[in-house]
Copies of this chain bind each other. A is one copy, B any other.
Amino acid sequence: MKKNTSPRKLTVKGFQFAGISSGIKKTGGKDLALIFSEVPAPTVGMFTTNKIKAAPVKLSMKRLSGQKNCQAIIINSGNANACTGQEGMKHAREMTVKTAGALGISPDLVHVSSTGVIGVPLPMKKISRAIPDLVRYMSPLSLADTASAIMTTDSFPKVISKKVRIGKRTGTIVGITKGAGMICPHMATMLCYILTDISISSTLMERALKEAVDRSFNRLAVDNDMSTNDSVFAMANGLLGNDPIKRSSKEYREFCGTLSGLTYDLAKMIARDGEGATKLIEVIVKGAKSETDADKVARAISGSMLVKTAVYGNDPNWGRIVAAAGYSGVNINENKIDIYIGRVKVMGRGIGTDREKLAFRALQNKTVIITVDLGAGDKMVRALSCDLTEKYIAINAEYRS
């Protein structure tokens, strides 16, 4: 973490940031954030598949379908602006208009995200009053402030920066995200912003982003459950000055690899910061006939409440793991399955190995790796989860009080 949170390392050419408190959160914490690119940047977005979409999501989806460039994103936490009817749409538009006014750019170049409680009108007066301040505080060194201001139940800001060699130049990709809280972003909003100075077309960026998100944030999810607000944005302002990346090039492969690594690391941060969680769980499913099979099994295990509580209780209850594999919808053969907790084989070809004392010890770690070998092929998938604790219940039973 340390190496990523030094402000100097968290800059990316041509981007400025701000994060302040506007009074939306009762706690007085930061709740209004801004991302600004000095030039209009090709931008792509991926949004929740929930049929109930928050007003800012609807607005951004509409804008991105017409206009591929974007120059600023304003984000508030503490209020999701979802299920707020026509007034909610008006508020979302107003946020972009006020931001555009303060920045002196066209409102079409501004996007907006919200996260927090559903069904409560945005306190627009507070937000409108704060927007000029937000713009005044902008600085290339303030990415960490932005990461703080988008948090809801997160216990730490989530920022990662990576370098990529593009020809003779070194480009930067930074990403910030907020959880999700629980491992499955089952309504708890996940927001993510990826910013780079590398020149890449929006078409290629879209491909690279989809691949990266499918292998990271979408493997944090269970049953494709998504919140009303989930959004991932990627902006590429091209100020590195490289020749735009070409599709079948070595540079594109490097870019994709780095981007996938970055989103996986961000997803890991979300899992580690799961509401009330004490442990990160990584589920590795290998020996599958297809990636789809591996994915289904990994999701069933990583989403199982019984597996999550067993990990919390240091209980090497591999029966719950194999049973989750069994209801994943994949045609598995129990007599071919091996299961490991850490490096300890707890089930071999469908039968317990009686090594639960060793597995109990492996469960004491802060990161618990569960490996399931289906013995049916050579495909592999990784999924992320966290343990389920009494504190999760306390947090979510009292969320709004």
Contacts and interface: CB of A to CB of B under 8 A. Distances in A.
Interface of A: 49-53, 80, 82-85, 117-120, 182, 186-188, 223-228, 304-306, 309-310, 312-313, 315, 317-320, 322-327, 330-332, 334-335, 347, 350-352, 388-390, 392-394, 396-401
A134 B334 CA distance: 33
Contacts of A53: 326
B119 A318 contact: yes
Contacts of A320: 118, 187
B119 A396 contact: no
B186 A52 contact: no
A397 B83 contact: no
Contacts of A306: 186-188, 396
Contacts of A390: 390, 393-394
Contacts of A389: 393, 397
Q: A117, A226, A317, A323 — which one has the most chain B CB atoms within 10 A of its CB?
A: A323
A323 B228 contact: yes
B52 A397 contact: no
A33 to B, nearest CB: 22
Nearest to A84: B351
Contacts of A334: 51-52, 83
A226 B329 CA distance: 11
A188 B320 CA distance: 9
B330 A400 contact: no
Given A325-B52, A347-B83, A351-B85, A319 B394 contact: no
Q: A80, A227, A347 — which one has the most chain B CB atoms within 10 A of its CB?
A: A227
Given A117-B317, A118-B320, A309-B396, 8 more contacts: A50-B327, A85-B350, A118-B323, A119-B318, A309-B393, A310-B399, A313-B396, A315-B399
A367 to B, nearest CB: 18
Nearest to A121: B352
8 contacts: A83-B322, A85-B335, A186-B305, A186-B306, A187-B306, A309-B392, A309-B393, A309-B397
A401 B356 CA distance: 12
The quantity of this chain's copies bound in the complex is 2
A325 B225 CA distance: 10
Given A305-B182, A313-B396, A332 B401 contact: no
Contacts of A398: 313, 315
A50 B304 CA distance: 14
B186 A332 contact: no
A326 B228 contact: yes
Contacts of A393: 309, 312, 388-390, 392-393
A83 B319 contact: yes
Contacts of A226: 327
A222 to B, nearest CB: 9
B187 A52 contact: no
Contacts of A228: 319, 323, 326
Nearest to A222: B223
A398 to B, nearest CB: 5
A320 B227 CA distance: 9
A394 B223 CA distance: 26
Contact of A317 (B84, B304, B352, B400): B400
Contacts of A117: 317, 319
B83 A351 contact: yes
Q: A304, A305, A335, A350 — which one has the most chain B CB atoms within 10 A of its CB?
A: A305
A319 B54 CA distance: 11
A17 to B, nearest CB: 29
Contacts of A317: 117-118, 399-400
Given A119-B347, A305-B305, A401-B313, A52 B394 contact: no
